[in-house]
Amino acid sequence: MERQRVTEQDRFERRNNFDPVESNLTAEQVKLEASRCLNCKNPRCVQGCPVNIKIPQFIKALKEDNIDEAGKIIRETSMLPSVCGRVCPQERQCEGNCVLGIKGSPVAIGALERYVGDNTSAESFEIKPSGKKVAVIGSGCAGITAAADLRKAGHEVVVFEALHKLGGVLRYGIPPFRLPRTVLDREITNLKNMGVEFRTNVVVGKSVTLKQLKEDGFDAIFICSGAGLPKMLNIKGENLNCVFSANEFLTRVNLMQAGKTPTPLKIGKKVAVIGGGNVAMDAARTAVRVGFEQVYIFYRRTEKELPARLEEIRHAKEEGVEFKFLHAPVEIYGKDGYVSGMKFEVMELGEPDESGRRKPVGTGNFVDVDVDTVIVALGTGPNPLIQKSANAEGLEILTDKRGYITVDDNRATNLPKVFAGGDVAPVGESNAINAMGAGKKAAKAINDMLG
């Protein structure tokens, strides 16, 4: 049987709005897709999921028309099915391990999970108070996941968020055409209904310190504040006006409504997005929607090496984004303090580097490109604010040479009763589901410690 496909918004229409690109499968499609699952005795799909969702079991429930049971099974391990079904890289994780994918198309696990998440509600849990109190710093994927598991164990959980809205990178980083805000708000409301307390506009390390949290009676602390420092190009012209990090650009649009008002963002005509990951795709596709006439993505390797999801690459191309491969930025030109163009060196691929991908090597040939805006999407590093404030108070947190907090397999730091996870202490690829996995590990270790 053919894999069932979701319906997508017309590629020309969606260039002009932030509405979801994809719709859910229909109930009939869900039944057909669920029937494709082989219910393997050794489910490789579960092994490929960082939070080990019981995938064959929830799909079996869908086969039997028991969607509520499917929702219950998923939420045993994940409180964010509607989110994960939309933003997780299924092709490299659960679906990438599906046996059907060896000779054909894998089961559409992500689409099935999203359908279940959107059409079921979280059960009310009987919570027996433990008398313990846990602080969670950050309301992104890791924080939300840890908060849910900690609250289920009966602890009083307080989540501290630096911004005025909850969700971390799910809200300020991922555009609403990929993750509708109603979906994110619904998942957070489920946690509030469980009794998790959220405090916004609290910058830990500035508004309050780790030492103060300890003095306030928190029995454990989980740091999952994300990686807020953008990695820039370090080339001439980078300080010109209209050079943005992808973080800043997406935050201006997602939190400051730049898609509706011109105030937070100067819209030019041509924009160069530097990078090839999912964030680069998000930035480019957002640039299309806010009104740039021409959007380029420049990547120093070939299309084969692009780290972004295949679906995001396809959507970007459909929406008119032009890809320039084997181009490395050399200089940003300026006029009257603003971007007026860029210089790139043409590259070729040499021997593989430490990542296993062929290393780009300069050819000595250069090209100039006419652009008036540059968005740098090369990843982020850890914001050192919490570490610096803790060190100043005598609570020295160990970090690696890149500044990430050092943790053991249980996400414990060198400080007693202090744990860390997500992008501030990454393990493996930086994405939503891996951050959730870190949150679950930390919560389990905290629960075990607190008894």
For residue 35, the SS3 value is: coil
Please check whether residue 361 lies inside any domain of the structure. Answer: yes
Give residue 314's pLDDT: 96
Q: In whole angstroms, give the CA distance from residue 435 to residue 46.
A: 17
147-158 pLDDT tens trace: 999 999 999 999
Q: In whole angstroms, give the CA distance from residue 94 to residue 433.
A: 11
Residues 178 and 190 in one domain: yes
Please check whether residue 61 lies inside any domain of the structure. Answer: yes
107-145 pLDDT tens trace: 999 999 999 999 998 887 789 999 999 999 999 999 999
What angle is formed at CA 54 by the lines to CA 49 and CA 58, rounded to 5 degrees?
A: 125
Instruction: Say what the pTM is.
Output: 0.92
Could you say which of 119, 146, 176 is where a domain stops?
119
Identify whether the C-beta of residue 397 lies closer than 8 Å to the C-beta of residue 415. Answer: yes
Neighbour-count burial for 369-406, b at 16+ CB within 10 Å, e otherwise = bebbbbbbbbbbebbbbbbebbeeeebebebeeeebbe
Give residue 259's pLDDT: 66
Could you say which of 379, 406, 438 is where a domain stops?
379
Which residues constitute the domain of residue 275?
231-379
Residues 115 and 148 in one domain: no
Residues 22 and 57 in one domain: yes
The token duo for 118 is 């959107």
Task: Judge residue 100's burial from the number of C-beta atoms within 10 Å of its C-beta, 0-12 exposed, 13-18 middle, 19 or more buried.
Answer: middle
The token duo for 57 is 């079991």
Give residue 163's pLDDT: 93
Identify whether the C-beta of residue 274 lies closer than 8 Å to the C-beta of residue 283. Answer: no
Give residue 411's pLDDT: 95
Domain count, the chain: 3
Residues 249 and 369 in one domain: yes
Please check whether residue 265 lies inside any domain of the structure. Answer: yes
- For residue 272, the domain's CATH number is 3.50.50.60
Give residue 226's pLDDT: 87
The token duo for 335 is 């006029």
Please check whether residue 2 lies inside any domain of the structure. Answer: no
Please check whether residue 312 lies inside any domain of the structure. Answer: yes
Q: In whole angstroms, give the CA distance from residue 417 to residue 446.
A: 8
- Residue 264 is which amino acid? P
Q: In whole angstroms, give the CA distance from residue 224 to residue 137.
A: 6
Q: In whole angstroms, give the CA distance from residue 140 to residue 137.
A: 9
Residues 370 and 257 in one domain: yes
Enumerate residue ranges in the chain where pLDDT < 50: none
Which of 35, 55, 60, 36 shows the shortest CA–CA distance to 45? Answer: 55
